[in-house]
Structure 1
Amino acid sequence: MAKKTEVTVEEKLRALYDLQLIDSRIDEIRNVRGELPLEVEDLEDEVAGLNTRIQKHDTDLEVIDNDIKTKKILIEDAKASIKKYAEQQKNVRNNREFNALSKEVEFQELEIELAEKHIKEYRASIEHKKEVIGQTREKLEDRQKHLVHKKGELDEILAETQKEEDMLTKKSNDFETQIEDRLITAYKRIRNNVKNGLAVVPVERGASGGSYFTIPPQVIVEIASRRKIITDEHSGRILVDEELAKEEQEKMVKMFSKF
């Protein structure tokens, strides 16, 4: 830990810019994947949702089928009751008993009529649900094919880049341990606050890289002296001189080529 306090400002600037170059390379790799991981995740969720929908409709069909069976049993029971009441009518002793049995027959006939109506409705519902299931299965098949295709694309990109990203991530972590905590905290804060993730930028043609605001000549001289860490007053980015940036870029290109 004591060695960190002995590091010169120039060494800190070089380490910070090296870290920036490594993290920018990781950003590039992840950008190559683009929205693919999210697309794959969304497709997986959609496929799962379609499967759930089909399962629900299948369950509904089972329930409706049982309802039809129940109504058919009710119809058979009603027919048996009608037959029984008809036999009883043959042995009635007066009109009052005959009329009471007639009302029972009429009630059972209405029960049959209502049950048949319900069965008709259930069958129409079955046809509708089967049609919906068919459409959903078609959509599911299409989404599954699309998912396989997108997963293939993602796997191909991962196969090409995962090893490099893992090695770069390890290098990034190694470099972080060589830089004092307050600078790492500032570096990460700046990276999170800028769109392109550039927290350490070189001075290019008298302006800050990434923001393009002109830097006063005396400040450029101060940056080139590498005696203290200077930030861009407009963007908050840490600034390094062009020569240092070029040297570190060449060093990092050699390192990247080994991955």
Structure 2
Amino acid sequence: MRNKLKALYELQEIDLRIDGLDGEKAQLLSEAQALEAKLAEAREKIAAKREEVQALEEEKGALDANLASENENITRSETHLKEIKTQKEYQAVSKEISTAKKQITELEEQILQKISAIDEANGEIAKREAELAELEGNVTAQQAELQQKVEALEGGISKDVVVREETVKVLPASVMKRYSKLRDQRRGVAVVEAKEGNCMGCNMHLPPQLYNTLFRADDVITCPHCQRILIMKQEVQD
């Protein structure tokens, strides 16, 4: 039984180490995902700005068409003006021309505003594209570094898994079942040290008779308070 308790203690150490490595790996993968999200956000902002430019170009196109139409109207009206014979008709056409010229002035102002907005948006796109290129370079370097760390962790996990499989072989199925259940219930810690009369898992005082029994290391004994498996470290390390 002493060897089985020693194997349980070693198994706990291996599992905690694997838990730690898995946690580090998860953190690294999370960081990698955060970098990808940062790139995606930068690209989405550029795409949105390009859509804004496209919308401005379409609005400018509509204004250009209206401007051309108004200029054609003026040309026709001015031609017609030369053929008019009555004062009343002359005044009506002149008013049309005046109104059209006013509309042209307004359209030209709106077109200039659109051109300015387009230039500003294109400048913003160029700036963001330069920032994105720099960010992509930085992210690529960071991701390569993260990947190296992940691979190193995976190597460590693989080695521990091999050792774990060998350790499990000496433990009865009933003990492994209890161990696994406790791991699930106690945040990964199923085996704890008993020291100076106390359970180091829950820090509760152990009954003296139970504590003394641990020195013999001849049975799997659990804490009456937290139900974790108790070991005397010096007994299983000898």
- Contact 1:36-1:150 within 8 A present in 2 as well: no
- Contact 2:220-2:229 within 8 A present in 1 as well: no
Q: Does residue 72 of structure 2 align to residue 80 of structure 1?
A: yes
- Check 1:106–1:236 CA distance in 2 against 1; reply closer, same or farther (3 A cut): farther
Q: Corresponding residue for 1:194?
A: none
| CA shift for structure 1 position 210 | 5.3
Q: Corresponding residue for 1:59?
A: 51
Q: Does residue 201 of structure 2 align to residue 201 of structure 1?
A: no
- Counterpart selection for 1:220 from 195, 199, 211: 211
| CA shift for structure 1 position 67 | 2.5
- Counterpart selection for 2:155 from 163, 179, 182: 163
| CA shift for structure 1 position 228 | 4.1
**TM-score of the superposition, structure 2-length normalised?**
0.80
Percent identical:
21
Q: Within 5 Å, which residues of 2 pair with 1:59-138?
A: 59-138=51-130
| CA shift for structure 1 position 79 | 1.0
Q: Corresponding residue for 2:232?
A: 241
- Contact 2:56-2:114 within 8 A present in 1 as well: yes
- Counterpart selection for 2:183 from 161, 180, 187: 187
- Check 1:132–1:152 CA distance in 2 against 1; reply closer, same or farther (3 A cut): same
1: CA distance, partners of 2:202 / 2:134? 46
Deviation string 1:51-95 (CA, Å, 9 cap, x unpaired) is 111112122212322322332232122111101101111222323
- Contact 1:15-1:178 within 8 A present in 2 as well: no
- Check 1:198–1:69 CA distance in 2 against 1; reply closer, same or farther (3 A cut): same
Q: Corresponding residue for 1:29?
A: 21
- Contact 1:78-1:112 within 8 A present in 2 as well: yes
- Contact 1:208-1:232 within 8 A present in 2 as well: no
SS at match of 1:132: helix
- Check 1:15–1:70 CA distance in 2 against 1; reply closer, same or farther (3 A cut): same
Q: In terms of mean alpha carbon deviation, does 81-90 or 165-174 score higher?
A: 165-174
1: CA distance, partners of 2:208 / 2:179? 25
2: CA distance, partners of 1:88 / 1:17? 106
SS at match of 2:10: helix
Letter in 1 for 2:21: I
Structure 1 residue runs of 5 or longer lacking an equivalent are: 1-7, 192-196, 248-259
- Check 1:153–1:33 CA distance in 2 against 1; reply closer, same or farther (3 A cut): farther
- Check 1:244–1:147 CA distance in 2 against 1; reply closer, same or farther (3 A cut): farther
Count how many residue pairs are aligned between Structure 1 and Structure 2: 233
**TM-score of the superposition, structure 1-length normalised?**
0.74
Q: Corresponding residue for 1:151?
A: 143
Q: Corresponding residue for 1:251?
A: none
- What's the C-alpha RMSD, in Å, of the aligned pairs? 3.1
1: CA distance, partners of 2:141 / 2:196? 46
- Contact 1:223-1:240 within 8 A present in 2 as well: yes
Structure 2 residue runs of 5 or longer lacking an equivalent are: none
2: CA distance, partners of 1:114 / 1:236? 84
Q: In terms of mean alpha carbon deviation, does 79-88 or 168-177 score higher?
A: 168-177
Deviation string 1:181-230 (CA, Å, 9 cap, x unpaired) is 35422222102xxxxx4331222454434555554543321333443431
Q: In terms of mean alpha carbon deviation, does 222-231 or 209-218 score higher?
A: 209-218
